[in-house]
Each structure stands twice: as C-alpha cells, then as structure tokens.
Structure 1
Amino acid sequence: MLHSTFAALASESVNYIDEPSTSESPDALGLMQCVLEQMDYGLALVHMATRQIRFANRLAHDGLNGPGSLRSGLCVVAGRLSTLLPTDHAQLERALLRAHGGVRALISLGGEDCTTSVAVVPLNAPTPTPYALLVFAKQQLCDSSTMALFARERGLTSAESNVLASVCSGMRPTEIAQHHGVQISTVRSQLRSIRLKTRCDTIRQLVETVSILPPMARHMAAVQH
C-alpha cells in the first residue's frame, strides 16, 4: 500500500513556487529571512572577497558577537569575518579560497577545551558576486522547544520530559538519578515508559530519534543585517 502511494506521488511533477517579480522581491526577501530565523542552525552569508557578512540569522549573529563567539570560534573584526584564535585564521582563509573555487569545506575552530565546526558552502547564486554560506554547528543535540513539542506529541509526563532531556545531553541513568534526587529504579522505570511511548527499543534508538527532529529555532528574533 505504501509502496504504491509513494510511486504515485513520485510520478507527479513537482510544482515550485514561481520566482517573484520585481515588485514582489522585497516581500520575498523578508519572507526568506523569516524562514532562516526559524532554523536551529546559525546561518551567515559572507562575501568571499571582502569577508564582510551580508546576512546572519539570530543564532549566527550571536555566534559572531560577544560571548557567542567563544562557542563558534568566529568573530567580526572591523566589519570583516575573522577567527577568535589567530591560529585558526589560516584554515578559515583556505576554506574561503576553496569555496571561491566551488569546493565545500569543514573547518574546526577553538582550542583543546572547546572545539566546534563550521561548514563553508559556496553558493551558485544568480549573481557574479561570490558569496559563501557559513553553517554553524549546533550547540546541543536538540533545542528545548523542539524537545518540548516532541515530548508533548508523544504524551510524556513532565518528569519523563526532564529525563529525556538529560539522556540526550549525555547523562547516564545514575547521573540522572543523582541530578534529580530520585532512586535509580525510578529513572529506569521512566526510561521504560519513555521508550514505550516513543516506540524506541533502546536508549540509542531514542537518542537517534531525537537527533533527527526538525531543527526549529529556540526563539523568533529580529532579522540581523
């Protein structure tokens, strides 16, 4: 039944939204910026020649400024993209040069105590201006709002939701019990209930299920230019 349904859908042509006319472009741009704000990934558009940031959603803006740069390894100096650590600057430059040639790159930034990754993706935009998309690594497996929606949809109790969040943060059952001040038997009972409600046979499968949830942003904020 499912196979025949998928086959029927695949046989249909995909209808794309028409490109906006000149009069509709500002509205289309604003709509696209709102879309990017809803993603739980830092996304920034950088001019590969000048290193200037053309656009950054809220998560990327936070990752390029102030305390957020400690987590991303990137910052903005005199209006140009740079690295927080001077030792990381060379690999950023190499990644941008490769992107200028149409090659994607993944760079690792930060010291031994705090290492993060940023993807540098060249854009084949309908313009001669060379831009690359910076995709920041997520700071956690799943954001709190997505986790809450998942827990509510699967009928988890408040206590089970807290246990699920602890498991996805890497805590072991004994650590969860100590953290919440309950017996280990209580945590194990809650984990069994969570697996039943989420239809997961193992904790690993549960974590994998959470890891591929849609990446929704934790908040909606003003667009940063």
Structure 2
Amino acid sequence: MFAGKGLDSLLDALYYAPYDASGWQEFLNRIVSLSGSRSARILVMNKSADQVFNGVQVNTDASAYQAFVDHYVNLCPWRPGLSTLPPGKFYSSFLDGICDQKTFYRSEFFNDWARHLDIHHGASGTVWQHDGQTIQMFMQRTGGQGHFTRDETNAFNALAPHIRRALRLEAIMHQRRQQQAFLEQQGRFSAMLLVNAAGEVVYASESAWHTLRDEPGIRMHARKLRLQDKASQENLDRLLTASFAGGSAHAPVTGGVVPLWRYARTPLLMQVIPLHPDADSTLMPVPAHAAIYLVDSEQETQIDLDKLASLLDLTAAEARVAALISQGDKPADIAAFCGVSVHTVRSQIKSIFLKTEVSSQAQLTKLVRALPVQRQVPLPRTPFLLSSAG
C-alpha cells in the first residue's frame, strides 16, 4: 500500500507537518489517497481519551466534524474497544475485534452520524501518549470500499513509529517556542511570578514583590494570588487552570492577559504564560508551570547602556543593539529605530555574538537579562480615562 515514491512523499509530508500550520492536514490527505480511505482524522485528547482538545481531519465537512467533537466522539464504538488494546499500534475495526459490524450498525454513532457520511469500516490506533495527552488516529472507509485488510493494517503499523517521531518533534518545537516566549517576555518585563501546578507562587522577582506590596488590588494569601476584583480573579483562575490541565474545551492553553483596573490610572496587566513541564530548568529560577508578568505601563524599564558596554566589552552602538535585542526587537525594527541599514545591524549582532560567545538572540537575551544593568524609571501618571479619551 505504501511503497516507492508514494511512501517517500508520505514520509516527506509527515516530517514536514510540525513545521507548517497545514502540514498535518496535508499528511492526512496523502495517507487517505494512498490507502484508499474515505476520510481520516487525528485527535488530541485528554489522558482518558474522552475529551477532544483539538484535531485535524480531511474529507469530513465542518458541521459533521463539529458534531463529532461535541457529541459523537464518545459514542463511537471503535474507541472503547481501542482503549482496551495496547497503544502504539493500529487495529482494523473489522479484523481486530474493536467492534463487530452488527454492533456498529446498531449504534447511535452509525445511525445518527456515520451513516449519512457512508463510513462503515476503520483502522485506528492510539499513536502517542505524553504529558496527560492521548493522540489517536483514525482512517475510515465506505461500505463499498470494504474493510482494511491485515496487510493494509500492517502497513499503517510500519508507519506508526514515524508518526510518533513527528509528534515528538512537534512537542519539542512547541516547548522551544514557549521557552523563546518566556525569554522574550523576561526581556521586556522584570516583575515576574512563577506558579506551580497547585496554583502557588513559588518565585517572585524583586520588582514583583514591590508591585504586590504597593498595589491594593492584588495580594498574596496562603501562597496564592488574590485579586480584589471578582471578575479578574475568575479570569486569572481560568487561565491558570487551563495552563495546568493542558487545556479544555472552554479555556485557552496559550495564556492570556488579566487587566487589574485602578482608579484614575492605567490598569496593571497580568500576562499569564503556560510553561512546558519539560522546559529547560536553566531558564527559570525554580521549576514552575506558569509565569505571570506584572506589566505596569506607568513604569518604564531601561538598560544602563554604559554599564552593559563595560561588562560585555561592547561599543556604544553594539550595547544599544544588544539592549534592543534583549527587549524583543527584531533587526529590521532596530535598524529603523537607530537610523541605520539592516545590514549594519546584522553585522553588529554578529560582532556581539563573537564578543559574548553566544550563538543566538535567545542566548543573548538570557545573558543581558542576567546582568545587573536594569533600572526602572517612573513615568508621569496620567489618569487612564483622560488618556484613553484623548
């Protein structure tokens, strides 16, 4: 079933999938074509595989897919049988006892959902389980196409290790993106809290402690953050719960911002960023599941460029570029800000890398943020309502 150029193109699509937003859909398109399937789907689920976090599917219209996710996913008779079989393999619904055809045809799943889509046979498997998530993959066939044979199921099983490697690659890339976001935010804001899976604050930077001391709308009780505004507290709890649980149907897993409204002042912003549990511990003072940055627009963080240049043996121009890089600016933005060409900025970055013995902007950001070169400059306080009205 998978051989020659067909297999090569399928593997190319599979290992490209983690790098492109539509990559997994393209992989499913190819596997449907090569295996003579009607449709296919990959579901990212919770540990017990009874709730869908997200998924990818081909050859099923949007309304049918939404109905499947919202209701029929837990009525599919293939899935209970699949849960009793060892993970890491694909099974033919017809040959491997996942669910006999008579039972399948009597099910609500078939009569109310699969019948009008002409789905009669399947090959499915739990392809990966990690960090409280279960990922299952399904190929489906019409009655006229017949069931998946033993040879066809074995071909899927030969592909299974490659699918797990691609999923692992995507997990690593997701982890790296989260680490990069952590570093970029760390470069912008010095008031940082780290929270563990129990919702307890396990670390607070000096600036964060000052903010907690000075802001009446936020306090610490039993190592947990307590907000004076009820709606803000509920929003914070929702974001943290989503971070710890790995997501749910009604809560984002990418973090968010909780505004704390202050009378006649700009709001204090609490930016919640989930941290991958396997994240490199050297990035954080202590292990944690979420970072919370307290962003006060009435405080501006500046870097002492003279001190930075002295500590790293940089020129004044290089120190300015290093400082802007550490604050998350891109080379093109730095060039526009400094009134020089992008080529000049890239040459300066190359020189900075050589002098500091780093090889990436993320490493440079980490280095600059670790140096005692930060200083906070209070800005004039303007009433929030007036500034927004103007």
Fold match (TM-score > 0.5): no
TM-score (norm 2): 0.26
The answer to which structure, 1 or 2, has the higher relative contact order (CA under 8 A, 6+ apart) is: 1
Relative to its length, the structure with more strand (as a share) is 2
